[in-house]
Amino acid sequence: MHLLNRIIVATIPLVPRRIVRYFAGRYIAGETIDHAIAKVRQLNGEGTCATLDVLGEDVFTREEATAFREQANQVLHTIVREKLDSNLSIKLTSLGLKIDKDFCRENTREILKVAAGYGIFVRFDMEDSTCTSDTIEIFRALHRDFSKTGIVLQAYLYRTEEDARQLGAEGVGFRLCKGIYKERKEIAFQGREEVQRNFLKVLGLMLRAGAYVGIATHDSVLVDGAQAMLRDLGLRKDQYEFQMLLGVRPELRRTLVREGHKVRVYVPFGEHWYGYSTRRFKENPEIAGYVFKAIFMPNR
Ligand code: FDA
């Protein structure tokens, strides 16, 4: 990361929340379900589908975890009522993973029951490496009963290749992304090119195993590499999809749609926008420039 960017990102905790919220605006649909509906409608109108996410993570009380479950269920009812082309993404730490694994599994089961009743697909997001094994374990247990579910694997982890082989053999579909959390060099690739190489290696392995993959990246090297692989394997356009985050490289998203690829946009919304948004700032190579302009040229 550019030095100035790194300095700006390091100072985010000191920045007043309302200013952080201003910069977060491009990455989140808003704070209410109505904001989320409007954003998904707009994306559907542009030829993309969505996955909705109620922002929140690291919940430490059963009451809060139950409230997150109810919000997820509300999203499912809304998708059907509003006829949105969207599925749902969930984070297990918002559903009680750090409180009690069995509680989390059963809490999540209640969401999957509602989703299955509507035929809506649910994706299990992947959080930091302290959650990987537990997320896979809970996912596996529930996937047996609810087939319209999939998991996320992160290309930066050494273990991902083996996880992809094992889960692929069980007929699981994936979202493959680089991984956003800071992980130790003992367990994760650190260099940009190493992560790119592993992404394409694991993607090839998943696609050759016949898995449906959500290719989740805005990195042109990976988008081009994936497209070459899809051509070589002769895959049809209904055998994979590209996935991108709200507010990131919309022009690339439109190009992929024009070329006839299925593209899904991750649409987070809710009151707990801070943690997610600051992770996005860290990845924005232009954040320093935006902050500079906002401070010194506010009326431009
Ligand atoms: P990279 O970060 O190199 O970005 C490529 C280019 O995109 C940049 O050069 C820049 O031009 C642009 N860009 C990227 N981020 C930007 C930003 N914030 N603002 C402006 N421009 C930006 N991770 C995880 O650990 N668990 C998960 O469950 C998920 N889920 C998930 C879903 C979806 C749909 C996506 C697309 C991504 C995730 N991720 C994730 C995040 C993922 O791991 C990764 O951190 C980001 O996608 C960024 O990596 P890229 O592959 O896009 O490359």
Contact 214, 264 (CB under 8 A): yes
| Better pLDDT: 297 or 224 | 224
**H or E element, residue 103:** helix 101-118
The model's pLDDT over 204-229, given as tens digits with 9 standing for 90+, comes to 999 999 999 999 999 999 999 999 99
Separation of CA 284 and ligand 1 centre (Å):
9
Residue of 89, 73, 235, 237 lying closest to 175 (CA atoms): 89
What pLDDT shows up at residue 17?
85
- CB-ligand 1 contact for 128 (6 Å cutoff): no
- Concerning whether 175 is annotated as a catalytic residue, the answer is yes
Residue 296 is predicted with a pLDDT of: 57
Q: Is the CB of 176 under 6 A from ligand 1?
A: no
CA nearest ligand 1 atom 26, residue: 126
- In the reported structure, the alpha carbon of residue 298 is separated from the centroid of ligand 1 by a whole-number distance in angstroms of 28
CA distance 199 to 296: 40
Catalytic residue selected from 69, 175, 264, 280: 175
- The Cα–Cα gap between 216 and 203 comes to 11
94 in Cβ contact with 61 (< 8 Å): no
By alpha-carbon position, which residue is closest to atom 37 of ligand 1?
216
Instruction: Indicate which residue's Cα is closest to atom 25 of ligand 1.
Output: 179
More confident position, 50 or 58 = 50
CB of residue 87 inside a 6 A radius of ligand 1: no
pLDDT at 300: 47
Q: Is 248 in the pocket of ligand 1 (CB under 6 A)?
A: yes
Q: How close are the terminal C-alpha atoms of the chain, in Å?
A: 26
H helix or E strand, kind and range, residue 216:
strand 213-216
CA atoms within 13 A on the CB side of 103: 17
Helix axes 287-296, 3-11, angle to 10 degrees: 70
Torsions phi, psi for 55 (to 5 deg): -60, 135
Share of the chain above pLDDT 70, in %: 95
Residue 293 has a CB neighbour count (10 Å cut-off) of: 12
pLDDT band per the 50, 70, 90 thresholds, residue 283? confident
What's the token pair of residue 41?
């409608």
Spatial distance between the Cα atoms of 77 and 116, rounded to a whole number of angstroms: 12
Give the distance (Å) from ligand 1 centre to CA of residue 283. 7
- Told to judge if 125 belongs to the known catalytic residues of this protein, a careful annotator would answer yes
Q: How far is CA 138 from CA 135, 144, 153, in A?
A: 5, 10, 14
DSSP type of residue 56: -
Tell me if 215 CB under 6 Å of ligand 1: no
Determine the atom of ligand 1 nearest the C-alpha atom of 266.
34
Q: Specify the ligand 1 atom closest to the Cα of 216.
A: 36
Q: How long, in residues, is the chain? A: 300
Q: Whose CA is nearest to atom 47 of ligand 1?
A: 217
Beta carbon of 196 within 6 Å of any ligand 1 atom: no
**Distance between CA 71 and CA 201 in Å, rounded?**
37
Q: Which of 67-76, 98-107, 153-162, 286-295 has the lowest mean pLDDT?
A: 286-295
pLDDT in tens, 91-108: 999 999 999 999 999 999
Nearest CA residue ID for atom 53, ligand 1: 219
